Structure formats: C-alpha cells, structure tokens
C-alpha cells in the first residue's frame, strides 16, 4: 500500500498585528477591501503575509455576525484558523493562499447577492467555513493519482472522492479540539446541521461530480425557492464550486500567476506518474500542455456554463458580460502565445535546441 507523495504541514503559525490599534486599523481597511469588486480585490492576496490573511478571515466571521450570533469566542476563532493554517501544505497551488482566495470569493458573493436576506446565518456559516476547509492537507496530487497509485487515502475511502473526504475529516479533527471548536456553543441539532452542510459542500468540489451538480441546479432554476432546503443545498454546492474555480474569472493579472502555480502542480504529478509507471493524466503532461491549451476547454465547458447559470439566479452578478470580456482576453492571449511559440520554434530550428525548449513554460 502506497501512502503517496507527502507534503509537510507548516511548523508554526503566524502572528497577528501586535497592538489593538494596529489590528483595528488593519481590520477596517480589510473590510472595505473585501467588500469591493468580488473579482478584483483579491489580486493583492499573493502580496499579503499569512498573518494578514489570518486577520482577513477573522474579519469575515465578525462582519457576517457569526461571532455574535453563534457566540464564537475570539480566542477560539484564532486558534481554529491557526490550526487550519498549519494543515495547508506548502505546495504550489492548493495552499493557504488558495484557501483564502476561495473564501474571499464566497464572502464577496454572499454580500453581492444579498444572501443574508435570503438564507439563514447557519447556511452562510456553513458556506464560509467550507470554503476555508475545502482543501485541507491537499498533497498536490489529485484523486486520479490517489486511485491509480492505491494510496492510503484511496484505500481508506474506497476510491470515492478520497481527497475531498480527507479534507472533511481533517476539518472535523480540528473541530474536535475544544480550543478550536468554533461550534462548541451551538446546540446538538445545530452542529448536526452544520456538519452535514460542510460535508456536502466540500464533497461537491470533486470535479467528477461537476455535471451532476450543475444539471441539478439547472433543473430547479425555473422554480427556485429559497424556502426549500433541497434548493438551498444545491445552491450552496454551486457557490462553493464557483468560488473554487474563480481564478479564471478574475482579471488576467490575477489569474495568470495562479495558472502558473496550478500547472506546476500538474507537472509535478505527471512527472511522478511517469516515474511510478502509472497512467499519465493528459492535461498534466508537461511535454504536451501549454497555458492556452490548458485553459480554453476548461473555460468554455466548465467555467462559463457554471457562472452563467448562477447569473440566471442572480442577475446582479452580470457574469455573462464579464465572462464575455474574459473570453476575449483569453483569445487575445492565445494568439499572443501561439506567436511566441512559433517564434521560439524558429529559433530552436536555427540553434538545434534540444527537446526541453519545446516544453510549455510555467512562467
């Protein structure tokens, strides 16, 4: 039985601003930023320190009134977030900053679509906490690798969403610790509902379930009813899916660095698959994949349909126009990329460059 490649947890935790006054100033500025354009404000997240990101996550819980409504003590919230931070591995893409980007998108969507007037606080708490926990202890190797390599996770979860099941398990392991249990002042019935909701949301991020969840959402859209638990559950799954893949809907200067990180993780996996004699995931093969080719199909067949259906429920998002502009940007990037590749090929033939020059760049 293989355990699969291991990624190390972070050894320590960051510190928050040192004085109450500096914390307050940062929190006020952060709140203003986080409520700005949902697709743009997170562009600075790669520049923020982890300690600052930790404060931003705390601000979200306070700003949505979770700390007051559910009697979440500040020290418990701090400790919960510290333990979550420690359990995100230092890998190229599925790391703590990705956790923050997904959570910020969820937070922004809650405000932008006025979900506070449409859903109760427990549903919103489920969605935000699910976003924070959705990739806990991700090793950088996807479910296909886990299953093909017969890793410990694949065996433990019988090849059924091994990563997503693991993310859930790690989240509730943290919550089992009294000093980290942000739900400890809730009733048993409330906790049961929250646990069920978090599990549903995190398991929904398994992309093999994408069509199933999207088709379900499309089927209920004409008669969508916020008083229906079934309808709300499907919407919550859609919202975490949208948040999870939202990088490609952000401005190019935000999206491209994250794509570089994702491709690096993909290439690491395909290298490992080749080394271990496993089936090589086609869209991860560094010898065959380029930036444009890795994104065109994903945007056209996965991201666009998902965002457009969400905009059908929330016209205020105006995602169709935004994504049309983004598609035009991608098309321009494709042309530019092909021109650069053609120029590189000409230089290669002139200098007899080796095969390495033909590989896609993780720029």
- Evaluate whether residue 4 is within a structural domain: no
Q: Is 11 a member of any domain?
A: no
Within-domain flag for 12 = no
Q: What is the pLDDT of residue 15?
A: 47
SS3 at position 2: strand
Q: pLDDT averaged over the chain?
A: 84
According to DSSP H, which parts of 134-187 are helical? 143-148, 152-156, 162-175
Q: How many residues does the chain have?
A: 363
Most confident stretch, 31-40, 46-55, 153-162: 153-162
Residue 297 confidence class, pLDDT cut points 50, 70, 90 = confident
CA distance 324 to 185: 46
- The answer, yes or no, to whether residue 344 has pLDDT greater than 50, is no
Per residue in 74-111, pLDDT (tens digit) is: 999 999 999 999 999 999 999 999 999 999 999 999 99
User: What is the average pLDDT across 71-75?
Assistant: 97
Q: 5 in a domain, yes or no?
A: no
pLDDT at 349 over 60: no
- Specify binding-site residues for Zn(2+): 98, 134-135, 244
Per-residue pLDDT reduced to its tens digit, 196-219:
999 999 999 999 999 999 999 999
Q: Which residue matches tokens 């859903």? A: 119
Q: What is the pLDDT of residues 161-185, one digit of tens each?
A: 999 999 999 999 999 999 999 999 9
Give the phi and the psi of residue 277 in degrees, each rounded to 5: 70, 30
Catalytic site residue 94?
A: yes
d(Cα 107, Cα 16) in Å, to the nearest integer?
21
- Radius of gyration of the chain from Cα atoms? 21
Whole-prediction pTM = 0.84
78, 94, 166, 167: the catalytic one is 94
- Examine residue 8 and state whether it is found in any structural domain, yes or no: no
Burial 66-95 (b: 16+ CB within 10 A, else e): bbeebebeeebbbbbbbbbbbbbbebbbbb
Task: Report the CATH number that the domain containing residue 126 is assigned in CATH.
Answer: 1.10.1300.10
The answer to whether residues 5 and 140 touch, using CB atoms and an 8 Å cutoff, is: yes
Range of the structural domain that residue 131 is part of: 20-352
361 within a domain of the structure (yes/no): no
Q: Which of 218, 240, 226 is nearest to 305 (CA)?
A: 218
The tally of domains found in the chain comes to 1
Does 7 fall in a domain? no
What Å distances lie between residue 247 and 104, 215, 330, CA to CA? 11, 22, 13
Give the residue numbers of the binding site for AMP. 94-98, 135, 244, 295
pLDDT at 24 over 70: no
Query: Is the residue at 184 inside a domain?
Result: yes
User: ∠ CA(170), CA(176), CA(178), 5° rounding?
Assistant: 135
Contact 96, 85 (CB under 8 A): yes
In tens, the pLDDT along 206-252 reads 999 999 999 999 999 999 999 999 999 999 999 999 999 988 888 78
Question: Looking at residue 253, what is its pLDDT?
Answer: 81
Q: Which two tokens stand for residue 277?
A: 């004699």
Of 256, 214, 238, give the one whose Cα is nearest residue 106: 238
């Amino acid at each position: 039985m293989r355990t699969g490649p291991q990624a190390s947890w972070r050894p320590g935790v960051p510190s928050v601003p040192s004085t109450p006054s500096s914390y307050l100033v940062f929190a006020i500025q952060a709140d203003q930023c986080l409520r700005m354009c949902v697709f743009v404000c997170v562009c600075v997240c790669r520049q923020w320190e982890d300690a600052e990101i930790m404060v931003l996550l705390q601000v979200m819980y306070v700003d949505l009134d979770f700390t007051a409504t559910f009697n979440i003590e500040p020290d418990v919230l701090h400790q919960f977030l510290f333990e979550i931070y420690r359990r995100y591995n230092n890998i190229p893409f599925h790391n703590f900053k990705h956790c923050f980007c997904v959570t910020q998108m969820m937070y922004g969507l809650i405000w932008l679509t006025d979900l506070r007037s449409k859903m109760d606080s427990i549903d919103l708490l489920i969605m935000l906490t699910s976003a924070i926990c959705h990739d806990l202890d991700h090793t950088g190797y996807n479910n296909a690798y886990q299953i093909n390599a017969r890793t410990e996770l694949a065996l433990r979860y019988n090849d059924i969403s091994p990563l997503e099941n693991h993310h859930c398990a790690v989240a509730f392991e943290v919550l089992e610790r009294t000093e980290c249990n942000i739900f400890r002042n809730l009733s048993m019935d409330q906790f049961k509902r929250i646990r069920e909701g978090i599990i549903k949301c995190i398991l929904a991020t398994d992309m093999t379930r994408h069509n199933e969840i999207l088709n379900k959402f499309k089927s209920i859209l004409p008669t969508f009813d916020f008083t229906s638990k079934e309808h709300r559950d499907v919407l919550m799954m859609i919202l975490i899916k949208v948040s999870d893949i939202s990088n490609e809907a952000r401005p190019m200067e935000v999206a491209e660095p994250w794509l570089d990180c994702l491709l690096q993780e993909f290439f690491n996996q395909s290298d490992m698959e080749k080394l271990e004699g496993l089936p090589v995931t086609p869209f991860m093969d560094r010898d065959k994949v380029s930036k444009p080719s890795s994104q065109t199909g994903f945007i056209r067949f996965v991201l666009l349909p998902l965002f457009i259906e969400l905009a059908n429920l929330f016209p205020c998002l105006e995602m169709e126009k935004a994504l049309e502009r983004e598609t035009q940007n991608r098309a321009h990037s494709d042309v530019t990329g092909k021109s650069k590749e053609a120029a590189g090929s000409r230089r290669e033939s002139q200098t007899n460059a080796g095969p390495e020059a033909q590989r896609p760049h993780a720029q």
